[in-house]
Chains A and B, each alone.
Chain A
Amino acid sequence: MQFFEQQDQARAQSGRLLSLFALAVIGLGLLSAGAAHVLLSINRDPEAPPFMYHDQVVWCAAIGTWGIIFLGSAYKMATLQAGGHKVAESMGGTLLMANSHDPLERRVLNVVEEMAIAAGLPVPPVYLLRGEDGINAFAAGWSHADAVIGVTQGALSTLSRDQLQGVIAHEFSHILHRDCALNMRLLGVLYGIVVISAVGRIIMHLTSGSRHRSTKKEGGVVQLFALGAVLWLFGSLGVLVARLIQAAVSQQREYLADASAVQFTRNPLGIAGALAQIASGSSALASPAAKDSSHMLISTPSSSGFSGLLSSHPPLFERISRIVPSWDGNFDSLLVTRANKAQLGRSSASSGPSTDTPAPLEIELPELGGESGLAQLAAARGVLASMQVNLTDAAHDPYQVRALLIAFLFDPDPIARTAQTATLGHDAALLREVYAMEEPLLRLALRERKALFNLGLPTLAALSDRQQRSFAQLVTTLRDQLSDGNLSGYCFALVILRHLRTQDLEATPPVLVKTAIEIALGILAVRGNGTRAQAEEAFDQGAAQFSARGGRLQLPPDAQLQVKSLHSALNSLRRLPVKTRQDLLNAAEAVATEDGVVKDSEQELLSILATSLDVACPLLNQADRR
């Protein structure tokens, strides 16, 4: 399987397209400047002295164009800023409750949880588009923390479990590669260009009215009309070019997502079958908001045949051929083999829970795929199945999930614990639940614990704003009561707070990127090693991995390596480009593995560090790393 190759290819291709997009925007400004120059030069008496502000006006045209694009895109981005759940709500999505009992809803929720574990991401909230019978799905959101996944009722009822898994894995790729953020930015700029042509149209409309009325020829009005016409023309031209590029980028990202779906599921027939289903059915969406979000969907929302260059998605035929190179071009062949296989799988399973039973956390293993991938999926299933059922239920229940997440912050240190208990004292029912969960939680293995934590985060979305605020306050208080040594509890608290809709309660002072990196790696080095000398050694190991531009990295003195400085460090680090954050995580891994043993506490820190940095931390797919 060459899905890694395909992924690299798609990435490189979209990189080139993005530079083209930037060039187009710059070019548009220069074009307007040129137009202004021409407009000012024609229609003038050659004898007359040259217009005094010629140069200024020409520059204003360029800067004005860029300004309008900037303002337009800033507005559009501000509306998209709110993140995934708003997009899903605007499309009429209903938030699926993690504790739903409906078999079909249960199935998609389970699939999403499995894929989240396979991709090493927090579980996103799932929205269902109830009225929609077409087969479609989307992912939206700026960061891993506010990503959501949406599916249509049609996808839920038509697709088999494997096909659904392929579709969800495809959406996870969009989240993992931040395609939503990329697309939102492109969409924002596109919108800015649309505004230019709209402004041109408005000017033309206004001036054409006054031109008819005025009998004597007014030079100013004519020029204004011409300005409007030029703006409109360039705007429309710009929109066309930008659309073409955006569509091309989007198509590349779709190929990338298809290839990643195969990577996550190791089952090309799942996603290919789903695409074939779409081809034989429809992916149409009734929601008017769908048109704006076509780039986020798994397939184009309108069935009208404007496929080709302007389409946000490559043709289904081409997509399937890339996933299954041996495909004969007949959609039915994929559907038939799929159905048969599903039946075979069902009859051979001895206990035989059918794919539609709401049996919690049941998963069908794909028949195909590399050994390591199979192991990865099996491990994902194992993690889910081995968890205590009541803990999983608690992670799905908005009432109990608070207690579950608080249990992660409960400090073993007696002094801190007394303070925390006192804080929780006013809500006796909650405290009781926390006590009840703490014990079974400690019995879990590390990665099960982390998976459970990730499972609980999306459930917080069901809390109302007020409930989220009071929960955020509670978590902040509990975090500040943690003992100094409890680094993982502190990180857990930070991640919880980021998943709440409340605005960041406390601003942190900005930290230099270099200092922030030193603090993050330094804390890891000092925690994992007994002596200062050993810590230095481990730190250097990580620093060597990480090519810093600002000079050599130094292990900061212990006084700077307090738990609390980590918060501001993380806030600064999160603004870095994804690539740099990934490098940082690799460096952190080097620090942790320097002494040859990766302690549980180190492993836990690494994974929570990854989550705080919005970097995927695949628990299980070490084998996939190249």
Chain B
Amino acid sequence: MSVGVVIAIIVIALMVGSVFYFIGIYNRLTTLGERHKNAFSQIEVQLQRRYDLIPNLVETVKAYLKHEQETLTRVVEARNTAVAGLKAAAQNPGEPGAMKQLAQAESGLRSALGQLSVVVERYPDLKADSQTGALFEELTSTENKVAFARQAFNDAVTSYNIYKKTFPPVVVAGMTGHASDAALLEFDSAKIKEAPKVSF
């Protein structure tokens, strides 16, 4: 047993070690990637609930708002666009194009709903209707849940993106299909202030 043997053993140990190390990095990347995709499904659940509420809301207020057909049509259209946007985004969470499209569709829906709530203010009978009140209340409370789920998603995306940029992972990420960053989901904060807020 000579110096050669010692060197051979050290080389082998280093090789085995570095293979383990790279496997570890790859697994971590996959896990983080999977995690933000999972986080999106929570947003999906909450947004879906919102979108399911809107037809009910329209159905309820329709009778009162015969002369506000345009506002209602806008809400329905915005809702349908948002449903399509959500579907596209759910296929590929974190993909920048899809995220942007969903954010825009959501903004459109928010402003349409904001307008609807302004209209509702003008109809005292409708304002007094308990079912409408409950629906608007539910929309508002879902809003909080969406915000919470969005925060979880953005946290997951951020930790994925940050990990990808650190030194050894950046090499592995380039080689293993983790090249592009995932996109955050940001709703236009200016529009949130117009969110349906009705005081009954």
Residues of A within 8 A of B (CB): 57, 75, 79, 86, 89-90, 92-95, 97, 99-101, 195, 198-199, 202-203, 206-207, 220, 224, 397-400, 429, 462-467
Q: How far is the CB of A77 from chain B (nearest CB, A)?
A: 13
Q: Which residues of A contact B48 (CB under 8 A)?
A: 101
Q: Are B2 and A220 in contact (CB under 8 A)?
A: yes
Q: Are A89 and B35 in contact (CB under 8 A)?
A: yes
Given contacts A94-B41, A397-B145, A464-B39, are A199 and B152 in contact (CB under 8 A)? no
- Give bound CA distance, A202 to B152, whole Å: 46
Q: Give the top 5 A-B pairs by smallest Cβ distance, nearest first.
A: A464-B155, A464-B152, A399-B145, A89-B34, A95-B38
Nearest opposing residue in chain A for B48, CB measure:
A101
User: Residue B78 at the A interface, CB < 8 A?
Assistant: no
User: Residue B180 at the A interface, CB < 8 A?
Assistant: no
Nearest opposing residue in chain A for B8, CB measure:
A206
Nearest opposing residue in chain A for B149, CB measure:
A398
- Give bound CA distance, A86 to B33, whole Å: 12
Q: Which residues of A contact B27 (CB under 8 A)?
A: 79, 90
Binds A, one of B12-20, B101-109, B114-122: B12-20
Nearest opposing residue in chain B for A127, CB measure:
B38
Number of interface residues of B (CB under 8 A): 34
Q: Which residues of A contact B38 (CB under 8 A)?
A: 89, 94-95, 462
Q: Are B152 and A203 in contact (CB under 8 A)?
A: no
Q: How far is the CB of A265 from chain B (nearest CB, A)?
A: 29
The binding surface of chain A is classed by DSSP as helix
22 contacts between A and B (CB under 8 A): A75-B20, A86-B31, A89-B31, A89-B35, A90-B27, A93-B34, A94-B34, A94-B41, A100-B45, A198-B16, A202-B16, A220-B2, A220-B4, A398-B152, A399-B144, A399-B149, A429-B144, A462-B39, A464-B153, A464-B154, A467-B148, A467-B155
Residues of B within 8 A of A (CB): 1-2, 4-5, 8, 12, 15-16, 20, 24, 27, 30-31, 34-35, 37-39, 41-42, 45, 48-49, 144-145, 148-149, 151-156, 159
Q: How far is the CB of A74 from chain B (nearest CB, A)?
A: 11
Q: How far is the CB of A260 from chain B (nearest CB, A)?
A: 29
- Give bound CA distance, A173 to B39, whole Å: 29
- Give bound CA distance, A499 to B87, whole Å: 32
- Give bound CA distance, A100 to B90, whole Å: 14
- Give bound CA distance, A554 to B144, whole Å: 53
- Give bound CA distance, A99 to B48, whole Å: 11
Q: Are A92 and B151 in contact (CB under 8 A)?
A: no
- Give bound CA distance, A92 to B33, whole Å: 10
Q: Which residues of B contact A199 (CB under 8 A)?
A: 12, 16
Q: Which residues of B contact A101 (CB under 8 A)?
A: 45, 48-49
Q: Are A465 and B20 in contact (CB under 8 A)?
A: no
Nearest opposing residue in chain A for B36, CB measure:
A464
Q: Which residues of B contact A198 (CB under 8 A)?
A: 16
Task: Identify which of B1, B149, B156, B159 contacts A57 (C-beta below 8 A).
Answer: B1
Q: Which residues of A contact B2 (CB under 8 A)?
A: 220
Task: Identify which of A90, A195, A462 contacts B42 (C-beta below 8 A).
Answer: A462
Given contacts A398-B42, A462-B42, are A79 and B24 in contact (CB under 8 A)? yes
- Give bound CA distance, A75 to B19, whole Å: 12
Count of chain A to chain B residue pairs whose CB atoms are closer than 8 Å in the complex: 81
Q: How far is the CB of B174 from chain A (nearest CB, A)?
A: 21
Q: Are B8 and A464 in contact (CB under 8 A)?
A: no
Q: Are A89 and B41 in contact (CB under 8 A)?
A: no
Nearest opposing residue in chain A for B32, CB measure:
A89
Given contacts A195-B16, A462-B39, are A220 and B149 in contact (CB under 8 A)? no
- Give bound CA distance, A543 to B34, whole Å: 49
Most buried by A among B27, B31, B34, B156: B34
Q: Which residues of A contact B144 (CB under 8 A)?
A: 399, 429
Q: How far is the CB of B87 from chain A (nearest CB, A)?
A: 14
- Give bound CA distance, A429 to B140, whole Å: 12
Given contacts A220-B1, A467-B151, are A202 and B30 in contact (CB under 8 A)? no
- Give bound CA distance, A195 to B39, whole Å: 37
Q: Which residues of A contact B151 (CB under 8 A)?
A: 464, 466-467
Q: Which residues of A contact B42 (CB under 8 A)?
A: 97, 398, 462
Q: Are B31 and A90 in contact (CB under 8 A)?
A: yes
Q: Which residues of B contact A467 (CB under 8 A)?
A: 148, 151-152, 155
Q: Are B16 and A224 in contact (CB under 8 A)?
A: no
Nearest opposing residue in chain A for B44, CB measure:
A97
Excluding A198-B16, A464-B154, A464-B155, 4 further A-B contacts by CB distance (< 8 Å) are: A79-B24, A89-B38, A95-B38, A467-B155
- Give bound CA distance, A75 to B16, whole Å: 11
Q: Which residues of B contact A466 (CB under 8 A)?
A: 151, 155
- Give bound CA distance, A202 to B1, whole Å: 17
Q: Which residues of A contact B30 (CB under 8 A)?
A: 89-90
Q: Which residues of B contact A57 (CB under 8 A)?
A: 1
- Give bound CA distance, A466 to B4, whole Å: 50
- Give bound CA distance, A57 to B20, whole Å: 28
Task: Identify which of B4, B15, B49 contacts A202 (C-beta below 8 A).
Answer: B15
Q: Are B8 and A203 in contact (CB under 8 A)?
A: yes
- Give bound CA distance, A289 to B156, whole Å: 23
- Give bound CA distance, A75 to B155, whole Å: 29
- Give bound CA distance, A57 to B16, whole Å: 23
Nearest opposing residue in chain B for A60, CB measure:
B1
- Give bound CA distance, A93 to B20, whole Å: 23
- Give bound CA distance, A101 to B15, whole Å: 49
